[in-house]
Amino acid sequence: MLSIKNLQVSLEEEDKQILKGVDLEIGAGEVHAIMGPNGSGKSTMSYVLSGKNGYVVTDGSATLNGVDLLDMEPDARAAAGLFLAFQYPVEIPGVGNMTFLRTAVNAQRKARGEAELTAGEFLKEVRAKAKSLKIDAEMLKRPVNVGFSGGEKKRNEILQMAMLSPKMCILDETDSGLDVDAMKLVAEGVNALRSEGRSFLVITHYQRLLDHIKPDVVHIMANGRIIKSGGPELALEVENNGYADILAEVA
Amino acid sequence: MAVIQAKYDAAETLIAARSLPGGAAWAVEARNSALANLRQMGVPHRRDEYWKYTNPASLIAAEAPKADVFETSETRPFEVLDRLRLVFIDGVFDPEQSDPLALEGVEIEPLSTALNADIHWASSVYGVLEANGQKPVARPLAALNTAQAVQGFAIRVTGKVARVISMIYLRSSVTADAMVHNVIKLEEGADLTLTENGPVAARANMVMEVEVARGGAFHHIRAQGRDHQRQAATHMFARLNAESSFKSFTLTVNGKLTRNEAVIEFTGNDAHATVAGACGGDGDFLHDDTVFITHDAVNCESRQVFKKVLRNGATGVFQGKILVQPDAQKTDGYQLSKALLLDDNSNFLAKPELEIYADDVACSHGSTCGEIDENSLFYLTSRGIPFACAQDMLTLAFLNEAIEEIEDPVIAEDIRDRLAAWMERRTG
């Protein structure tokens, strides 16, 4: 599904390397988690994969089902099946949540040569999916993320993910700012989307989220590289002992 | 001295260009008075404080600069409304294309007819609000209009009017120099919606004087035409009595030079005024909103909300002033002017002013100028929305803050559709 090889990335505006050769293979249907200390490059990786400005790829590659991601504009990456659930979903006053969702869904369908959804079809689908995420009609009507609580914003991310049916989902600290109940709701939303043809990369600081979204593989990222990979037990080790032991072991 | 002499010479040239119309004694007096005012002020000059951002040269030139007539097969704004249509061609009323001048709750007459008769209400408004609005800031083009205009309507509203009055300004000549003056009086408790749309002429000098009596409500929505080379100087003078309401919104896309002035005076307590505008400029385009609101009564609220989107070297100007007189306690004044610059070539020049002589007032103003938010753009594109479409969505969202000032949701939606279509054509 997602194949990252020796990915090296610097900031555009200053001579600073953030990713120093990341290698990562995620197979179809797998759930991988990435943990790591602050500043290790986790969020940068998610931004670079989805095409945010401000980064320069100096070496390496990233492909989604064999297609070169790094060469495409962000909208084309999305149409190819990539989705990033933002750590800080952006508030966009003046753009209605429904308009936004429908425009996005139909733009992707159009890009893939599929028929666009009619207003009726879209409405039916969005209502059903919103309901399971406890997103009410009022929230759908409001401008994108404006006046949403932290939990509502994250649920809105999952709703977008559900509507867009991506193949590769990256969740960037989706658990940050969520209370226990909200985290459970979000995790249920994610789990409902798990399927053989869909993979996940879950970036998190806390093992707790991984109790709800069970990963197949856990990676530890530090200083721009993945320094250790293992099973779910690796996340427990971090939770109990912090990163010091792992960092020392690798050094 | 040379500059000053040029102001007076140009005024004489403009005065000589049209004959002074006759009419009833009061009308002739109003015209003569405006003429005397103009001779004293001279025409606007670049060195004048309120013209330093906008060069008035083409507005005061002896002849109107040419402007091609913009042809489009698209429907015009406000066609969805139940309305009385008054059609002008090159600034001249065309009864053939217009509806009969009959509307319940309204007395409506062509300006030339009204100014030939002894109509008390008209004599208390025509040229009177304009003359009041000449201090402290001179508005010579409005005085010229009062002196010379023969086109336009005198409208007296006595009740709540169900239908909209819609002035439609079409063009046929590439050189026409139009002058239109509408004078409107809303009596106690009266309610009227007036729309104006179209480019008027190659060059247009428009004046509207509106007096709203106690409890009256006036809604004004204007869409200025899309002809690229057209020029316009418009003035809106409003006098607001107790508990009255005045709301005006202007949409401007294209046009080479547009100067829209609004001069509003609160003379009665507990009244409300909103002047708002959304503007999209591309290329050879200058749009100037100059607003002067005088609070001279207690507990009145005024709102100014102006949003401009500029690209390819377009220029936006905002000069907004709130003057709160010593006894105008409990005044609530709000002023917002924002520009979105879509490239590095475009300009926004803003001069917000507050002058407050009362203690118990709340006045706020904000003026900003920025580019499209990168994070919002990335968020939208990361969901699969193509860049150009995402940019349009954010541009519309930016302008929406001004459009939301329109009370009628049907008209607001019509305006949104116009803007969306304008952007779609731009991005192709």
Query: Does position A245 have pLDDT exceeding 90, yes or no?
Result: no
SS3 B376: helix
β-sheet with B203-212: strand ranges across: B106-110, B153-157, B177-186, B203-212, B231-240, B257-266, B286-295, B315-324, B347-356
Of B383, B394, B400, nearest to A104 by CB-CB distance is B383
Look at the block and give the residue holding tokens 């239109």: B180
DSSP 8-state assignment for residue B174? S
Distance CA B31, CA B146 (A): 6
Output the pLDDT for position A35: 93
Please indicate whether, in this complex, the C-beta atoms of B378 and A53 are within 8 angstroms of each other. Answer: yes
Please indicate whether, in this complex, the C-beta atoms of A104 and B389 are within 8 angstroms of each other. Answer: no
Nearest in space to B195 (alpha carbons), one of B422, B406, B425, B416: B406
Nearest in space to B288 (alpha carbons), one of B55, B61, B130: B55
Task: Give the residues across from B292 on adjacent strands.
Answer: B263, B321
Minimum distance, in Å, between the CA of residue B303 and any CA atom of chain A: 19
- Enumerate the residues of chain A whose CB falls inside 8 A of the CB of residue B391: none
Which residue out of B377, B379, B395 would a mutagenesis test of the A interface target, given it has the greatest number of A Cβ atoms within 10 Å? Answer: B379
Please indicate whether, in this complex, the C-beta atoms of B387 and A92 are within 8 angstroms of each other. Answer: no
Of A52, A95, A111, nearest to B378 by CB-CB distance is A52
Nearest in space to B111 (alpha carbons), one of B63, B182, B12, B60: B182
Distance CA B264, CA B209 (A): 10
Output the pLDDT for position A207: 85
Output the pLDDT for position A243: 86
Distance CA A62, CA A19 (A): 13
Which residue out of A103, A145, A160 would a mutagenesis test of the B interface target, given it has the greatest number of B Cβ atoms within 10 Å? Answer: A103
Of A75, A89, A95, nearest to B381 by CB-CB distance is A75
- Enumerate the residues of chain A whose CB falls inside 8 A of the CB of residue B387: 73, 75
Output the pLDDT for position A178: 85
Please indicate whether, in this complex, the C-beta atoms of A107 and B385 are within 8 angstroms of each other. Answer: yes
Positive or negative: CA dihedral B169, B21, B130, B255: positive
Domain ranges of chain B: 2-372
- Note if the bond before B136 is cis, omega within 30 degrees: yes
Radius of gyration of chain B (CA): 21
Domain ranges of chain A: 2-250
Domain A2-250: which topology? Rossmann fold (3.40.50)
Distance CA B131, CA B128 (A): 5
- Enumerate the residues of chain A whose CB falls inside 8 A of the CB of residue B384: 75, 78-79, 104-105, 107-108, 111, 164
- Residue B190 contacts residue B160 (beta carbons within 8 Å): yes
Tokens standing for residue B369:
């100028």
Minimum CA–CA partner of A159 in chain B: B383
Distance CA B36, CA B95 (A): 33
- Enumerate the residues of chain A whose CB falls inside 8 A of the CB of residue B373: 90
Is A123 in CB contact (< 8 Å) with chain B? no
Which residue out of B383, B395, B396, B417 would a mutagenesis test of the A interface target, given it has the greatest number of A Cβ atoms within 10 Å? Answer: B383
DSSP-assigned states of every residue in B268-307:
STT-EEEEEEEEEEESS-EEEEEEEEEE-STT-EEEEEEE
Nearest in space to B343 (alpha carbons), one of B258, B281, B422: B281
- Enumerate the residues of chain B whose CB falls inside 8 A of the CB of residue A107: 383-386, 389
Report the percentage of chain B scoring pLDDT > 90.
Answer: 91
- Enumerate the residues of chain A whose CB falls inside 8 A of the CB of residue B400: 94
- Enumerate the residues of chain A whose CB falls inside 8 A of the CB of residue B397: 92-95, 143
H or E stretch covering B244: none
SS3 B113: helix
Minimum CA–CA partner of B397 in chain A: A94
Distance CA B416, CA B358 (A): 39
Please indicate whether, in this complex, the C-beta atoms of B385 and A95 are within 8 angstroms of each other. Answer: no
| Lowest mean pLDDT, pick from A100-109, A133-142, B91-100 | A133-142
Give how far Cα B304 sits from Cα of B5, B253, B263, B405, Å.
36, 19, 12, 9
Distance CA B265, CA B263 (A): 7
* Torsion angle in degrees (nearest 10) through CA of B134, B136, B138, B144: 10
Minimum CA–CA partner of B396 in chain A: A94
Cβ burial of A23 (10 Å; 0-12, 13-18, 19+) is: middle
- List, for chain B, all residue ranges whose pLDDT scores fall below the cut of 70: 1-3, 426-428
- Enumerate the residues of chain A whose CB falls inside 8 A of the CB of residue B385: 75, 103-104, 107
H or E stretch covering B143: helix B140-148
H or E stretch covering B165: strand B164-170
Is A164 in CB contact (< 8 Å) with chain B? yes
Is B372 in CB contact (< 8 Å) with chain A? no
H or E stretch covering B220: strand B217-224
Is B107 in CB contact (< 8 Å) with chain A? no
- Looking at this protein, which amino acid is placed at residue B377? L
A:84-113 residues touching chain B, CB 8 A cutoff = 84, 86, 89-90, 92-95, 99-100, 103-105, 107-108, 111
User: Chain-wide mean pLDDT for chain B?
Assistant: 95
pLDDT tens-place string over residues B211-222? 999 999 999 999
Task: Give the residues across from B240 on adjacent strands.
Answer: B212, B266
- What is the distance between the terminal CA atoms of chain A, rounded to a whole angstrom? 31
Which residue out of A73, A95, A97 would a mutagenesis test of the B interface target, given it has the greatest number of B Cβ atoms within 10 Å? Answer: A95
- Enumerate the residues of chain B whose CB falls inside 8 A of the CB of residue A64: none
**Three-state SS sequence of chain A:** CEEEEEEEEEECCCCCEEEEEEEEEECCCCEEEEECCCCCCHHHHHHHHHCCCCEEEEEEEEEECCEECCCCCHHHHHHCCEEEECCCCCCEEEEEHHHHHHHHHHHHHHHCCCCCCCHHHHHHHHHHHHHHCCCCHHHHHCEECCCCCHHHHHHHHHHHHHHHCCCEEEEECCCCCCCHHHHHHHHHHHHHHCECCEEEEEECCCHHHHHHCCCCEEEEEECCEEEEEECCHHHHHHHHHCCHHHHHHHC
Predicted-complex ipTM score: 0.95
Is A143 in CB contact (< 8 Å) with chain B? yes
Please indicate whether, in this complex, the C-beta atoms of A143 and B397 are within 8 angstroms of each other. Answer: yes
Is A53 in CB contact (< 8 Å) with chain B? yes
Minimum CA–CA partner of A95 in chain B: B397
Of B386, B394, B397, nearest to A107 by CB-CB distance is B386
Half-sphere exposure of B310 (CA within 13 A, CB side): 26
- Measured in whole angstroms, how far is the alpha carbon of residue A16 from the centre of its chain? 24
Is B400 in CB contact (< 8 Å) with chain A? yes
- Enumerate the residues of chain A whose CB falls inside 8 A of the CB of residue B389: 103, 107
Q: Which residues contact B75 (CB under 8 A, 6 or more apart)?
A: none
Distance CA A194, CA B70 (A): 56
Task: For Cα atoms B92, B191, B84, give the angle at the middle one, nearest 5 degrees.
Answer: 35
- Enumerate the residues of chain B whose CB falls inside 8 A of the CB of residue A52: 378, 382
